Amino acid sequence: MRAKVQRGGREQKDLQGGSQQLRVVFSERQIQRRVAQMARSINRDCRGQTLHLVGILENSFVFVADLIRLLAVPVVCHFLRAVVHDRTWRGIPVRQIGYWPGVDLRGKDVLLVDGVLETGVTMDFLLNSIHGQNPSSIRTAALIEKVHYKKVGITPDYVGFATQRGYLVGYGLGRSGRYQNLPYIAAAG
């Protein structure tokens, strides 16, 4: 099967093994330009620092790969996986968040990077955890910020695109492990 991709009103075929209807939201060229602009800002703001970039898996891996190649400052790259469990305790919904592997960021200049900042709950948890390690500085970056979905007041220092779109795929963002290899970002559904 092939996913149908809509670009500028006309359908194109895409070999993704699914029958999902996709509509391009951010083109490959738009993404490249915006990541380059973000890298210039980070280079300016972090001049003279060794940056410990912490990428949140899985949504950030393609974004991180492109971003670090454009950074002129020294970079130490770390990845962590946030593990989220929604449970109920005495009838009250509780979200438990953990992450692994642990990363020692004491005294380091940190850039926490996510592919999609949706509710902000996970990034808020990770920021608080990192702050508890007493880093020298901490900044945040998100390729996509879903402004209307946020539940906590987190504003990333660097944002690629703000959108109200629903489920997005491509450029490292996937649905059931598919579509992550698309060079653009598309709305699924």
Considering only the top CATH level, what class is 30-166?
A: alpha beta
Q: What angle do CA 20, 25, 30 make, to 5 degrees?
A: 135
State both tokens at 18: 């699914």
Instruction: At 81, give phi and psi (nearest 5°).
Output: -110, 125
pTM for the full model?
0.84
Distance of alpha carbon 64 from alpha carbon 120, whole angstroms: 19
Give the CA count within 13 Å in the CB-facing half-sphere of 94. 7
Distant-in-sequence, close-in-space partners of 56: CB < 8 Å, separation ≥ 6: 79, 80, 81, 82, 112, 113, 114, 115, 122, 123, 126
Q: Which of 86, 81, 32 lies closest to 60, judged by CA?
A: 81
- For the stretch 112-160, pLDDT in tens is 999 999 888 889 989 999 999 999 999 999 999 998 877 888 999 999 9
Which positions of the chain have pLDDT values less than 70? 1-20, 95-96, 98-101
Q: Where are the domains of the chain?
A: 30-166
